[in-house]
Amino acid sequence: MVGTARSIVFRAFLLGVATGMRSNMAGAALAWHQPDAPRRAGWKTWPVLRNVWGRRALMLAGAGELVGDKLPITPSRLEPRSVIGRLLFGALAGAAIGTEARGKRAVLRGAFAGMIGAGIGTFGGYYARKAVGEATGIPDPAIAMTEDAIAVTLATNAVANR
C-alpha cells in the first residue's frame, strides 16, 4: 500500500505540474485515457468523463489552449484569477488520481499534491519560458511549443502510467 500511495501522490503531482503549465491539460488527459482507465479509478465514472461528449469537450478545451496560449491577447497565467484557477484544476486533477487508491485520505493527498504541482507548473513554467527566451533569443511561440510538449508528456505519463 505504501508504494501505491507514493505512486498516487507522485502521479498527482505530475498531473498538477502539467495543469499549471496548461490549465486544461489534466482534463484532456483524463478524457483521452478514460476508456483505458483501470476499474479502480473512481474518476473514470465521473459524469463528464463517462459521457463521450464530455470527453470530447475536455479534449477540445485542451487542444484549444495549446493554440490560444500563443496568441498575443492571451492574459498572463500569473494573473490572480488564473493562478487560483490553475491551483483548483490541479487539486481536482490530483483528487482524480487519488481515487485510484482506497480511502478519502488518498484523494486528499492527491488533491494536495496536484495543487502543489500546479503552483510549481504555473510559476516555474512561466519563469523558465521567460528565462529561455531571454537567454537564447528564441521567439516565445517556439518556446511555448516546447512547454506544450512537456505538459502533454507529463499529463500523459501521470494518467496512463499506473
| Regions of the chain short of the pLDDT cut 70 | 1-6, 161-162
Determine how many CB atoms are found less than 10 A away from the CB of residue 126: 16
26: which DSSP letter? H
∠ CA 136-141-143, nearest 5°, is 45
The pLDDT score that the predictor gives to residue 161 is 66
Place of cell 502539467: 18
Q: Torsion angle, CA of 157/159/160/162, rounded to 10 degrees? A: 100
Give the residue from 52, 15, 12, 55 showing the smallest Cα distance to 32.
55
Please name the helix (run of DSSP H) or strand (run of DSSP E) that holds residue 151, with its range, or none: helix 140-160
For the record, the C-alpha cell of 34 comes out as 478514460
The pLDDT score that the predictor gives to residue 90 is 98
The pLDDT score that the predictor gives to residue 91 is 98
The pLDDT score that the predictor gives to residue 4 is 56
**Cα(22)–Cα(18) distance, integer angstroms:** 6
